[in-house]
């Protein structure tokens, strides 16, 4: 049985969990707080980041959310989540990378830092209002881009449901939990996100809570 090292608001672990859910791969959650830099965890992943997956029977260790997704895409064919022609697969990977880096660096990362990491300190610090404002402004710009994509396509990366939808939903769900998304004016993205939230792969994520901070009131509602 695979074990997945993660914490409830890790967007990269959420991407992996959504993919495992869609593919019907069983796994066990192991709670890890990477900011504590536990020796045993650094031994698994010197970069010190979640997610990490471990399969003891075979002695396999998988590190890095995209490497993990590619692994399960290669070893569990159905449903294919990096699908279509080579050019279409490149478009899926472009958008996965855009959510994993640009969206995370501009929005999810700063919000997690200000609203979660600072509360976890031995001496909790107050969030920086300017950093929060900038992250929420970036969220608006980035959701304008997903609105634009969804105006032209059924799904984030094209005509079919793909890993790009899961990567997007993973980041957006963490930001929504932290109250960082103003849904007004983002009808296309809101409609798409409602569809994502109704999927069985998404439900376990909506039920989880991070100990130091509760979710925005509408967070778990499919119809928000």
Query: Which residues form the interface with a second copy (CB under 8 A)?
Result: 46-47, 60, 62-64, 66-68, 70-71, 74-75, 86-87, 89-91, 93-94, 97-98, 101-102, 145
- Based on CB atoms, which residue is closest to a second copy, 90 or 131? 90
CB of residue 196 to a second copy, shortest distance in Å: 22
Q: Which of 117, 128, 123, 107 is nearest to 179 (CA)?
A: 107
- Based on CB atoms, which residue is closest to a second copy, 87 or 207? 87
- Based on CB atoms, which residue is closest to a second copy, 102 or 201? 102
CB of residue 85 to a second copy, shortest distance in Å: 10
Name the token pair of 4. 């997945």
CA angle 173, 175, 180 (to 5 degrees): 135
CB of residue 45 to a second copy, shortest distance in Å: 8
Contact indicator for 86, 36 with CB cutoff of 8 Å: no
Q: What residues contact residue 155 under an 8 Å CB cut-off, 6+ apart?
A: 161, 162, 164, 165, 192
Q: Is 19 exposed, middle or buried (0-12, 13-18, 19+ CB in 10 A)?
A: buried
- Based on CB atoms, which residue is closest to a second copy, 144 or 211? 144
- Based on CB atoms, which residue is closest to a second copy, 91 or 114? 91
CB of residue 202 to a second copy, shortest distance in Å: 25
Sheet with 2-6: strands ordered across: 27-31, 2-6, 52-55, 60-63
C-alpha Rg value of the chain to the nearest Å:
17
CB of residue 27 to a second copy, shortest distance in Å: 15
């Amino acid at each position: 049985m695979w074990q997945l090292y993660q914490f409830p608001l890790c967007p990269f672990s959420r991407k992996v969990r959504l993919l495992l859910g869609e593919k019907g791969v069983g796994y066990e959650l192991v709670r890890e707080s990477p900011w504590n830099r536990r020796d045993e965890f650094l031994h698994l992943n010197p970069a010190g980041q979640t997610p990490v997956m471990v399969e003891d029977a075979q002695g396999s260790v998988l590190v890095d959310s995209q490497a993990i997704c590619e692994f399960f895409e290669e070893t569990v064919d159905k449903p294919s989540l990096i699908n279509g022609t080579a050019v279409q697969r490149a478009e899926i990977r472009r958008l996965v990378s855009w959510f994993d880096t640009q969206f995370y660096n501009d929005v999810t990362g700063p919000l997690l830092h200000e609203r979660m990491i600072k509360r976890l300190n031995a001496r909790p610090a107050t969030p920086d209002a300017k950093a929060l404002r900038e992250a929420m402004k970036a969220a608006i710009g980035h959701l304008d881009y997903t609105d634009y994509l969804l105006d032209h396509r059924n799904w984030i990366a094209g005509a079919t449901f793909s890993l790009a939808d899961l990567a997007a939903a993973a980041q957006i769900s963490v930001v929504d939990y932290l109250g960082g998304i103003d849904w007004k004016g983002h009808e296309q993205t809101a409609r798409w996100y409602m569809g994502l939230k109704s999927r069985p792969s998404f439900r376990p994520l909506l039920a989880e809570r991070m100990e130091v901070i509760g979710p925005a009131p509408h967070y778990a509602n499919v119809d928000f």
